[in-house]
Amino acid sequence: MFISEALAQTEAAAEALPEGSGMRLLVQFALIFGIFYLVLIRPQTKRAKEHKKRINAVVIGDKVICGGIFGKITKIINDYEVELEVSEGVRIKMLKDLISEVNPDIIPMAPANTDKKEKANPNSKAEKLKTAFTKK
């Protein structure tokens, strides 16, 4: 009894739809895609192009952040590798694509303090562990 009423309702609902509803659905999907393109896709591709341009324009002496490591470019090896000086005399090779920031405002690159030798704090946890393992 209920099934025949339900079928009758669906047929009536199908007849009530306007003939251009398929076109209406396509217009809605196109509108949603257009909004996504303007809000998400276009700005992201623009940012990616600017970042690629900045990476390709690095020169020796630029300060960069590369994979979370602060450093100064000392040598451009090839199109996809650079050599970074992360501390005085410490150089590492990194991929150019890993450079996240070129010439950042804040870089904690203090010169190495070679004239003063820091004394180990005997009360620090690291020193206590070191002495505990060396006593054995």
Q: What is the predicted pLDDT for the residue at 101?
A: 87
Looking at per-residue pLDDT, the higher value among 109 and 95 belongs to 95
Rounded distance, CA 26 to CA 74, Å?
55
Instruction: List 94's β-bridge partners, or say none.
Output: 82
High-pLDDT (> 90) share of the chain, %: 38
What tokens were used for 42? Answer: 């276009």
pTM for this model (two decimals): 0.54
Question: Is pLDDT above 90 for 132?
Answer: no
Angstrom CA distances, 28 to 42, 50, 96, stand at 20, 32, 42
Structure confidence by residue, pLDDT tens digits, 24-77? 889 999 999 999 999 999 999 999 999 999 998 899 988 999 888 899 999 999
Q: What is the predicted pLDDT for the residue at 66?
A: 86
Question: Is pLDDT above 60 for 110?
Answer: no
